[in-house]
A and B are shown apart, each in its own frame.
Chain A
Amino acid sequence: MNDVPKGVAAQAPALSVPLSRRSRGEEDRALVQQAQSGNEFAFEELVKRHQQRVFALVGGILRRREDLEDVAQQVFLKAFVSLKRFDQRAAFSTWLYKITVNECWDYLRKRKVRPLVYESDMSEEQVSRLDGLASQERPPEGPNDRAEARDLLERMLEKLPEQDRQLLLLKEVEGFSVQELAEILDLNVNTVKVRLFRARGRIMETYRKRLSSSGHAAKFPGAGKGRASDEG
Chain B
Amino acid sequence: MKAEFHGEACPEYEAKLEDYLGGELSGADARELGEHLKSCGACAAALENAAASVRLLRFAEATPGPGPAFARVVMARIRSEQEALREPRGFWQPFVSLAWRFAATAALALALMITYDVKRRDAAPTVASVRQSEVRDLFTSEADRVPNSRDEVLIMVAEQDHGQH
Contact = CB atoms under 8 A, between A and B. Distances in A.
Contact of B45 (A197, A198, A225): A225
18 contacts: A47-B74, A58-B63, A60-B63, A72-B70, A76-B78, A153-B57, A168-B53, A169-B60, A172-B60, A173-B62, A197-B9, A203-B57, A220-B52, A221-B52, A227-B5, A227-B6, A228-B4, A229-B3
Contacts of A33: none
Given A222-B52, A229-B3, 12 more contacts: A52-B65, A56-B63, A73-B74, A139-B58, A140-B59, A168-B57, A175-B62, A190-B15, A225-B5, A227-B5, A228-B1, A228-B3
A194 B15 contact: yes
Contacts of B14: 193-194, 197-198
Contacts of A69: 66, 70
B50 to A, nearest CB: 4
B50 A197 contact: yes
A59 B18 contact: no
Given A174-B63, A190-B15, A203 B74 contact: no
Per DSSP, chain B at the interface is helix
A222 B52 CA distance: 5
Interface of A: 40, 43-44, 47-48, 51-52, 55-56, 58-60, 65, 68-69, 72-73, 76-77, 80, 133-134, 139-140, 146, 149-150, 152-154, 156-157, 168-169, 172-175, 178, 190, 193-194, 196-198, 200-201, 203-204, 207, 212, 220-229, 231-232
Nearest to A48: B71
Interface in B54-84: 54-66, 70-75, 77-79, 81
Contacts of A153: 56-57, 59-60
Given A169-B60, A207-B56, A221-B52, A73 B75 contact: no
B18 A201 contact: no
Contacts of A200: 21, 49-50, 53-54
Nearest to A191: B15
**Interface size class, chain B:** 35 or more
Given A220-B55, A232-B1, A227 B61 contact: no
Given A193-B18, A194-B14, A228-B4, A172 B52 contact: no
Contacts of B4: 224, 228
Per DSSP, chain A at the interface is helix
B94 interface: no
A58 B82 CA distance: 25
Contacts of B18: 178, 193-194, 196-197
B8 interface: yes
Contacts of B15: 190, 193-194, 197
A133 B48 CA distance: 18
A226 B3 CA distance: 9
Given A69-B70, A173-B57, A197-B17, A80 B78 contact: yes
